[in-house]
Structure 1
């Protein structure tokens, strides 16, 4: 009995403790922050529903245009990148569902099997027309609604017009009153990613200096998470770009800001990939107790400083070209290899060189110019290089 009571108590704690956590001041503050972030969107959605009802009921004289506000709310709740396509899908889906339901109800009446038949036929037709999941579901929902409610003569067309009204109102609001935070979010996420990139390089530097395997492993885990962060940044930037195109009232400054972040996505992706390889080889070097020259560790530290400068310039919205001089100096330092450096150390040197090119391109430099600024390695032009020196890594790029 005692064991059963203990298990029951543990189960109770498992249910109650998360609820109590939600009542803490910290959780309440977090919910308020989320509310403030979404307040403008909430106002837009509510205004869209109200305006759609007014247009359909007051101007078109539809007695119960319930689908007009529903369509407006669904469309305004979508991301900017999907709004136009989804609005069209919703309208077509409603038309298919209403047509199917109207025909079957007038031919066979209403009932259980009619609901099943209308749902199947409407969704099947939508799929045959190349519909996505949203269009398919809307076709089925509207067909079932018409079957259950039994629309009167002429109501099917009015319901389709209600969908058009709702979608049109949503599109108009999206164009005239965009969520400005949508265009600001890409820069915020880019700043965070570059900051994490600098953090990985700093942690890797300290791991190499102190021969700290745990620190090297932590840096590698963080480096691997950067790819997921970058994918989120790509989605956010695409949404912001669509908002900038749809919203004529957005200032040119907002559009330029989005374009700048779009321009750094490619080189930032390459820099993240190269730093991930660098962090992996650093962990291997520490684990295998491989000799890593201090000059190589200094290169990684220099790369961390360059990434931190990029982050600072993004925060200040300053010119990214401010990092070029430090990067070119780092490129010159990377030309000299150490005769005792092992495989992992040489791979790290090569990744530093590749990342330098990526960051130069990120700063706005042409790729050909960035490669030209990366001097040839010593072994490639100095015939006095020792014969037993390790082979040079391929030229990056």
Structure 2
């Protein structure tokens, strides 16, 4: 009988293993969004109660918080979906209460009808759920004259406040964060390659194992860069106060993500082979180790260009020079060494693409090996 995984045990392990520093970093990244949601709730409640005069405008702050959420992505869509969902739920719920009264079966029917209408409108999950929720609220808390309409007005107030905050709140730091994170990530990739070369040069297995652990962490760092880039793009798309240069900068960083992802994956394979070769006492030609060190230096140059916002094309020459050197095979090299040479060539292609070349152009800049030219 196959072993079953306890989801609670898995959750406990995740909570226990995640460092406190990582949790605090995530909180800092979300704090401005949390403040926006809280401010939106207060402003919506104050406006609905003291300006419009609703006695208990509970749905205004709820709508504002749901629309703002903890992400910039799809904020405008959330506002529209919530307003339509509330309108459908209020309409269906109010009609059923007036015609059939309030009981358990009306709740069932109202949920089915309201959510079905939302689906027919081409609803997303938020619109569909809000239609059902509002239908239940109307059915279970029988509204007095005009209260059903007031709930929709409260939702409109909350949505309007959320939309205003979505447009005005994003700061330039939101669009700067992806560049800061990708600079750190490219720097970490350069250090990883340097550590790999050093571990091979002095034949330090523990150092190679530490490098392999670092290589496995880079994908998680890339996910953070990707998430912050999506957030920045979403913020820049709706915030007129952010300059066009901010939007262009976010787009430029977003174009780097795919080739950087491939470079990290190939680097992980390279480091794994380095660790394996040391563990199995395999010979690695010094020229191959030098190529890894040169690749690290070329990666560091790319990081410097991203910092100074110079064209990445100026960092290509070192990569092209290295690509020429990878064509020569050392006759003493074993399987692991040859895999590392192949990975160096792949990473060179990835970094050339990152510098702005097309994949076809990058591949043409990496000459074929002698084995490829003369298989016999």
Q: TM bucket by the smaller chain?
A: 0.7 to 0.9
Q: Quick check: 1:41–1:179 contact (8 Å CA) kept in 2? A: no
- Give the deviation of 1:180 after TM superposition: 3.1
In the TM superposition, what are the counterparts of 1:156-175 in structure 2 within 5 Å?
Answer: 156-175=148-167
1:146 aligns with 2:138: yes
CA contact (8 A) 1:40 1:179 kept: no
CA RMSD of aligned residues (A): 3.1
Tell me if the contact between 2:326 and 2:345 (Cα under 8 Å) persists in the aligned partners. yes
| Partner Cα separation in structure 2 for residue 37 and residue 267 of structure 1 | 25
Match of 1:276 in 2: 268
Cα distance in 2 for partners of 1:213, 1:39 equals: 42
The CA distance in 2 between the partners of 1:72 and 1:177, in whole Å, is: 14
CA displacement at 1:261 relative to structure 2: 0.5
**How has the CA–CA distance of structure 1 residues 112 and 227 changed in structure 2, closer, same or farther, with 3 Å as cutoff?**
same
TM-score normalised to structure 1 length: 0.78
Give the Å deviation of 1:297.
0.8
What is the DSSP-based 3-state SS (H/G/I as helix, E as strand, rest coil) of the residue aligned with 1:239? Answer: helix
1:380 deviation in Å? Answer: 5.1
Cα distance, 1:341 vs structure 2: 1.1
Query: Which runs of no fewer than 5 residues in structure 2 stay unpaired?
Result: 1-15
Q: TM-score, normalised by structure 2?
A: 0.82
Alpha-carbon shift at residue 142 of structure 1 (Å): 2.1
- Structure 1 CA distance, aligned partners of 2:332 and 2:241? 61
- Other-structure match for 1:260: 252
| Distance in 2 between residues matched to 1:202 and 1:288, nearest whole Å | 21
2-side partners of 1:286 and 1:42: how far apart?
49
2:184 maps to what in 1? 192
Separation in structure 2 between the aligned mates of residue 369 and residue 122 of structure 1, nearest angstrom:
55
- Whether the 8 Å CA contact 2:60–2:155 is kept in 1: the answer is yes
- The question of 1:305 aligning with 2:303 is answered no
Give the match for residue 352 of structure 2.
Answer: 360
Structure 1 residue runs without a partner (length 5+):
1-17, 19-25, 384-390, 393-397
Give the CA deviation at 1:94. 1.6
- 2:357 matches 1:372: no
Q: Is the 8 A contact 2:33 2:71 kept in 1?
A: no
Name the SS for the 2:73 alignment partner.
Answer: helix
1:80, 1:242 within 8 Å by CA — same for their partners in 2?
yes
Structure 2 counterpart of 1:83, from 75, 79, 99: 75
The structure with the largest alpha-carbon Rg is 1
Tell me what 2:221 maps to: 229
Cα shift at 1:60: 5.0
For 2:241, the equivalent position in structure 1 comes to 249
Measure, in 1, the Cα distance between the counterparts of 2:193 and 2:26.
32
